[in-house]
Structure formats: structure tokens, C-alpha cells
Chain A
Amino acid sequence: MVQDDFYKFRGADKYVLDDELAEIVNVSMALEMPLLLKGEPGTGKTMLAYAIAESLGMPLIILNVKSSMKLVDALYQYDTLTRLNDSRFSDSIRDVSNIEEYIKMGKIGQAFVSDTRTVLLIDEIDKADTDFQDDMLDVLDQMEFDIMEIDKTISAKNRPVIIITSNAKKDLSDPFLGRCNFHHIAFPEEDTMRKIIGVHFPDLGREIMDACIKTFYGLRKLEGIEKKPATRELINWIRALKADPDFKLSLLEQGNVPYLGVLYKKSPDMKVANEAIARNRE
């Protein structure tokens, strides 16, 4: 929620970059191919795009895919209502007879008309239907699209660096996959997680880090959980612990887990976790 945004704006200095991933980003840029990233929620897929943009010094444009979205929404919008309004109350600075003044670029459009090369993040592509996905890659292959209303072709001034993310366990269509490079971001190992936590909480003591990591990875091993806690939950949980004046390290060491609700969002998961914790304490 609010806290997430807070972290997102920090950019690359807050991002722990995996070497493999950096190589894949580089080769995708060299081959001018979109990079499709999969991985369970909270593995930093979205963060990566911020990091790339920051480290390459390019502006970042984000298209958040929604299930109801049509491709044209991502290309441009024709603002008919404003035009209608202007035609009625002719006190506007726009020229009503010029449709072009009422065309606004969508996210892909913005990336195409930008004077500098941009990073274009297409976030959560799995939410859209297959037609959207395939049509979108056509546009990204050709690097141009038509605005029907004014009979004009928009060609990309610079080919954006394209990052696409998907949460889906299921694979995308073969034609789609054929046109992307692919990487799956695995859930971080304990070592990497320490680094990630380190950048978010530079002043976190060694002992509390150890205890939190141990508790967290213990909880991730529980069976029968629908949504395992991920990096985002761990960060929020540590933040909650740090903010609590009554929190003591010994609590964790005794097998207690305060603020369990920060780690588990679903009540059946809470129940399973609570039972396991109680058993563990006995």
C-alpha cells in the first residue's frame, strides 16, 4: 500500500541486482527483444524495471495491464468528451476542428514518441487476454501503429527497452513466447534475502536479522498455505517489529511470531500458520 510506493521511488540504489539477470537484460537490449520476467509475487519483477531505468539513465514508462484493457488504450486515446464539450462551449484554447488536439498518447504511444530512449514496463501481462498479448507484440515488433481517427502512423523514434512481467503459473502462448527472451526470477536464497533486507534496513542489527530470516524461511516451509509470504511481506513485517517498542528478540527465539497478519493476508493461511506456530512452541 502506501509503504510499497515509498520503497518503489528509491530506484536502483535500493535494488539488489542478480548477475544472471543483468546479463539477460543486456543481451535482450542488444538483440532488441522484449524480456519476459516471471516469478512469484514479490520477487522484484516490477522493481527491476525501475532499477534498469535508473542504472541506464532512461525514463521509465509503465503500462499496468488490466483485464478489461484494449490494446488501443495502451496506444492512444481520443478524448471525444472534451471535444464535445469544447464544441459546445467554444471558450477553449484547442481547435475543435483539429482532431489531433484531442488525441492523447497511451503508455506505449508515449514510449514511441519520446525523444530519448525509454524503458517500457508492461506489468502483469497475464491479466489481459491472448488477443491483447499477441496484438501488442505485433506493435512492438513493427515499432509503429496507426491512429485511425486522423489517419496517421506513429513510428517509434527510439526503440524502448521492453520489460514484460507475468505472475501466471501458466505459460503464455507460444507465438508470444517466441518473440521474447525469458527469465524466471527464483525466490531469493537466504543470502540474497539478507542483502535485500540490508538495503531496506541498513541499520538492522545482525542478531535481529538472523532471527527474522530464520523465522521467515521457517514459515515459508509450511505446507498447505495458499499465498506464502514473500519479500514484500517480510519487509513490512520487519518494519512492524521495528516500530513496536515492546518487541524483544527473545520472542522470536521462543518461537513466537508477532504481527502474523502482516505476513499472511488470507485467513485460512493465518489459521494454518497459527496452528503450526502453536505446535512449534510446545
Chain B
Amino acid sequence: MFVSFFYNLRDRGIPVTPTSFLRLQRALRMGAIRSLNNFYVVARAVLVKSERYFDIYDQVFAYHFEGVELPDFEDIELSEMAKLLLDEWLKNPEGVAAALGVNEEDLKKLTPEELEQYFLDRIKDQTEAHHGGNKWIGTGGTSPVGHSGVHPGGMRVGGVSQNKSATKVALDRRYRDYSQEGPLTQSQMGEALKKLRRMVPAGPLDMVNVDKTIYQTMKNAGEIEIVFDRRLSDRLKIVLLIDNGGWSMDPYIPLVQTLFDYTRNQFKDLKTYFFHNTIYDRVWADAARYRNSELITDFIKRDPETRIVIVGDASMAPYELMNEGGSIYFGERSRKSSIENLQFLSQTFRHCVWLNPASRYEWSGTWTIDQIRKVFPMFELTLDGLDGAVSHLMSRN
């Protein structure tokens, strides 16, 4: 029963580990779980590590425990569980040993086959201990937390919520909102971009340098001389290039605007430029792409450590990217093809990324996206994508 509950959670995409499952069984064995309501709450805290999965948890829970008795364990499931545990053991012996409450060194002496058998036996022990007498379901409070003497007391739990059954609570789907990945908000962007910094000494000398102080003091034959340093502050240079033209970017305007607002407030040394579809000889500092333009070739004068972030859907007609003079604007007679300009950027600056607001699934099949991805690493404009982009921008090479 528990085992199939576990599998169901995994099948629905919740990353539940066997170790955490064993931990849950340990909680049962200790008598720390007194009722199905209690089980609902505790199992979630032990197995599910993000509110994003709470809604799926509720659905699986309701499906599993709606008016059910405890059926028999199926041996097949248990042996699969033992295999999983073996996998986990290979990755994280310490964690598995701790969850089983055994010594890691003892287990290391066993062969994989012996280990698997051992795990199987342990799982059977643990599950059977709760199986016989419906020990936990509905017995409300017969084995209060703490009876095992593991910890003194515990917090008082009121009686109100106990009136509503756990499956009913689960069916309320209280966490539905958390499971939806809405558009990125500024604070989420902040979260993802937080690591985009380079700390270098700047400002007044107001921090004691202990090592140098000791050294100087010794040099002065014990006469104390305290040495001060400057504090570290953020000096990362960033250039943000945004595609703000054309109907294909329209659906993403709020998203890109959020990114723009956030970065403008957060980074001291940030330059933003605009382009349409792709980059030719020039980019513009004004959003209308009309007044202040700068030659891409002049970018060579910039610090090569500058981080280049390009935002656009990278979708256009192939000739716009590949042809000399491919710009769709009449007045803009480019000398080089756009792809050459892009290559120039990626060769001049070690740290470049392309952020694409379109979902990954839409990328394949767009020819220009494939070409641009050969020049720049491309990331989705989502939390995970930003995370990847930031690690790339901050990597050492």
C-alpha cells in the first residue's frame, strides 16, 4: 500500500527518494503518526520537498486513501523498492544508512546481491510492523509522539482540523496555484540573477586585514599596526541587447520588460541596447532604435570580461541572418552578414548568452534558432533557464 503510494507519487513526477520513504516508515514505527490525517501531513513533509508538488501530492493521496482499508503488500513492489534503495545506496551510502538506522560500515561489507536482500528484509520488517493491526489509521492518539522517548514533549496540536478527514482536505486541492508555473515576476528574476555578480575591492579602507596586520606587527617588532582593506563590492559589467521589434516578440513584451526593469535597478554597470530580429552593424541605446546608435565593431573597446546577454526569439527569415545587407531596413546597409556580427561578439567576449522567451519546445524547427545556437548558448527565459544562463556567465572559462 505505502509502496504503491510511493510509486504513484514518483510516476506523477514528484522526485521522492527511497531514503525519504524509509524515513517515513521510521516515523510510523516510532509511533509518531497517529491517524490518517496525521499521515497526510507528515508524509508530505517527509517526502515532498517543494510546494510545486503539493497539488499532485493531494491528488495522489486522495486517490489512494479515499475510503480504503490497508490492503496486502505485494512482494514484487517490495523487491523493486529494494533495487531502488540499492541504487540510492551507491550514490549516497551515508543517507541510506542513516534512514535505516544502521551503521554504514557494516553495510559496506556486503556484496550488492547481499545488500539487495538485506534491504528487502528491512523493508519487510518495517512495513509489517504496521500492518497487522491497522495500528495507525483512525486510532487517534493511542501512540502519542514522544512515547519512544526520543524527545521530550512536543508541540500541542489543536483539535479543529482533526474533524475533517485527510482525503477531504486533499480533495480541496489547496495548493493548485503553486503548481502552475506562471510568468516570471521581478522577484523571481532577482532570485535567479542574484549570483550574477563579481565582487572586487572598492570604497573606503575600512576592513581589518588580520593576516597583514599580524605580518606588519611582527615586522614592527610587536608594535601593533593594523592594516585596513577595502570592502568587496559588485563590479560586474553587463551589456543587455534586446530584440524589441516585430510582432513575433509582442507576446513576450511584459516578460522582457520585467527583465529590463529588474536589471536596470540591480546592476550598476549595465548598458542596454535594442535591435530588431538580429544584430547587424549597429545597435541602439534608445528603444525607438532611432537616435543613439553604436557600431558593433566599437564593442571591441569594451572590457572583454563584460557579460553579454542577448534577448530575442531568434526567429526570422534565413536571409536576414545570413546575407550581407540582410537587414530588413532600407537605410541600414550592413557590410557584414548578421551571423558574422554575432560571431564577432562571441569571439570578443568570453561570456555571452542568448535568452529566448519562447518555450524550448518551440525551438526545434526554426532554422535561425539552430544557427544562432551554434554561436551562443541559448537559454529559455524561465527560472531554470536564467539559472543556467547565470552559471554560464559566471563560469571561469
Are these two chains actual partners, yes or no? yes
Q: Which A residues are within 8 Å of any B CB, using their own CB?
A: 17, 19-20, 22-33, 35-36, 38, 52, 55-56, 68, 80-81, 84-85, 87-88, 117, 126, 129, 141, 168-171, 174-175, 177-184, 186, 226-227
Please tell me which stretch of B47-55, B122-130, B133-141, B329-337 contacts chain A, meaning at least 4 of its Cβ atoms lie within 8 angstroms of it. Answer: B47-55
- Nearest B residue to A180, CB-CB: B49
Closest Cβ–Cβ distance, residue A18 to chain B (whole Å): 8
The size bracket of the interface on B is 35 or more
- Taking CB atoms, residues of chain B closer than 8 Å to A170 are 188, 191-192, 383, 387
Within 8 Å of chain A (Cβ to Cβ): is B302? no
Does B59 belong to the interface (CB within 8 Å)? no
Q: Is A169 within 8 A of B161, CB to CB?
A: no
B76 at the interface (CB under 8 A from A): no
Q: Given the known inter-chain contacts A27-B42, A30-B32, A30-B150, please indicate yes or no for A19 contacting B157, CB distance below 8 A.
A: yes
> Shortest distance in angstroms between A68's beta carbon and chain B's nearest beta carbon?
8
Contact of A38 among B51, B214, B232 (CB under 8 A): B51
Q: Is B156 an interface residue (CB 8 A)?
A: yes
For B26, what are the chain A residues with a Cβ–Cβ distance below 8 Å?
31
Q: 6 pairs across A/B with beta carbons < 8 Å?
A: A19-B161, A25-B155, A32-B150, A84-B217, A88-B217, A182-B45
Stretch among B12-20, B241-249, B304-312, B352-360 lining the A interface: B12-20
> Looking at B52, B153, B232, which has the most chain A CB atoms within 10 Å of its CB?
B153
The interface residues of chain B lying within 8 Å CB-to-CB of A88 are 217, 222-224
Are B45 and A56 touching (Cβ within 8 A)? no
CB within 8 Å of A: which residues of B? 15, 17, 19-20, 23, 26-27, 30, 32-33, 38, 41-42, 45-46, 48-52, 54, 92, 94-95, 98, 145-146, 148, 150-158, 160-162, 174-175, 178, 185-188, 191-192, 195, 208, 210, 213-214, 217, 222-224, 226, 232, 383, 387
CA–CA, A38 and B154, complex, Å: 21
5 new A-B contacts at CB < 8 Å, known A27-B145, A184-B178: A17-B156, A23-B38, A30-B30, A88-B217, A171-B52
Q: Which residues of B contact A26 (CB under 8 A)?
A: 32, 145-146, 154-155, 157
| Cβ A56 vs Cβ B155 within 8 A | yes
Give CA–CA (A22, B159) in the complex, Å: 12
Q: Say whether B51 contacts A184, CB under 8 Å.
A: yes
A-B pairs, 4 with minimum CB distance: A184-B51, A177-B49, A26-B154, A30-B32
Q: Is B45's CB under 8 angstroms from A183's CB?
A: yes
Q: Is A27 touching B17 in the complex (CB atoms < 8 A)?
A: no
Pairwise interchain contact B155-A52, C-beta atoms closer than 8 A: yes
Q: Which residues of B contact A33 (CB under 8 A)?
A: 23
Query: Taking CB as reference atom, which chain A residue is nearest B188?
Result: A169
Q: How far is the CA of A20 from the CA of B23 in the complex (A)?
A: 19
Contacts of A32 in B (CB 8 A): 150-151
Task: Tell me whether B46 and A27 are in contact (CB under 8 A).
Answer: yes
Q: Contact between A30 and B155 (Cβ–Cβ < 8 Å)?
A: no
> Is the pair B213, A174 in contact by a Cβ cutoff of 8 Å?
no
Contact A17 B51 (CB under 8 A): no
CB distance from A74 to the nearest CB of B (A): 18
Q: Assess whether A56 is in contact with B161, with CB atoms less than 8 Å apart.
A: no
Q: Closest CB-CB distance, B50 to chain A, in whole Å? A: 5
Q: Which residues of the other chain, A, contact B45 by a CB distance below 8 angstroms?
A: 24, 27-28, 35, 181-183
Q: Which residue of chain B has its CB nearest to the CB of A40? A: B187
Q: Assess whether A80 is in contact with B214, with CB atoms less than 8 Å apart.
A: yes
Complex contact B155–A22 (CB within 8 A): yes
A31 near B224 with CB under 8 A, answer no
Question: Nearest chain B CB to A19's CB is how many angstroms away?
Answer: 4
Chain B: minimal CB distance from A44 (Å) = 14
Between A26, A81, A84, A177, the greatest number of chain B beta carbons within 10 A of the residue's beta carbon is seen for A26
Min distance, Cβ A217 to any Cβ of chain B, angstroms: 15
Q: Which of B48, B156, B208 contacts A182 (CB 8 A)?
A: B48
Cα-based distance from A126 to B191 in the complex (angstroms): 9
Q: Which residues of A contact B223 (CB under 8 A)?
A: 88
Task: Evaluate contact between B187 and A227: CB separation under 8 angstroms.
Answer: yes
Contact of A55 among B51, B156, B187 (CB under 8 A): B156
Query: Are A182 and B49 in contact (CB-based, < 8 A)?
Result: yes
Please tell me if the beta carbons of B41 and A23 are within 8 angstroms of each other in the complex: yes
Task: Find out whether the CB atom of B158 lies under 8 angstroms from the CB atom of A19.
Answer: yes
Measured between alpha carbons, how far is A63 from B195 in the docked complex, in Å?
22
Which residues on A sit within 8 Å (CB–CB) of B162?
19
List, in ascending order, chain B residues with CB within 8 A of A31's CB.
23, 26-27, 30, 32, 46
**What is the minimal beta-carbon distance from B60 to any residue of chain A, in angstroms?**
17
Tell me if B191 and A141 are in contact (CB < 8 A). no
The answer to whether A169 and B191 touch across the interface, beta carbons within 8 angstroms, is: yes
Asked if B161 contacts A20 (CB within 8 A), the reply is yes
Which of B33, B45, B54, B161: most chain A Cβ within 10 A? B45
CB-CB under 8 A from A226, the residues of chain B are 185-187
With a CB–CB cut-off of 8 A, which chain A residues contact B38? Answer: 23
Q: Which residues of A contact B50 (CB under 8 A)?
A: 171, 177, 182, 184
Cβ of A181: which chain B residues have Cβ within 8 Å of it?
Answer: 45-46
Cβ contacts under 8 Å, A186 to chain B: 174-175
B79, chain A: closest CB distance, angstroms: 23
| CB <8 Å contact, B224 and A178 | no
B224 adjacent to A84 (CB under 8 Å) = yes
Q: Are A168 and B17 in contact (CB under 8 A)?
A: no
Tell me whether A30 and B145 are in contact (CB under 8 A): yes
Chain B residue at smallest Cβ distance from A41: B187
Q: Which residue of A lies closest to B51 (CB)?
A: A184
Question: What residues of B have a CB within 8 angstroms of the CB of A84 in the complex?
Answer: 213-214, 217, 224
Tell me if B222 and A30 are in contact (CB < 8 A): no
Within 8 Å CB of A117, what residues of B? 152
Contact among A17, A179, A182, A227 with B155 in the assembled complex (CB-CB below 8 Å): A17
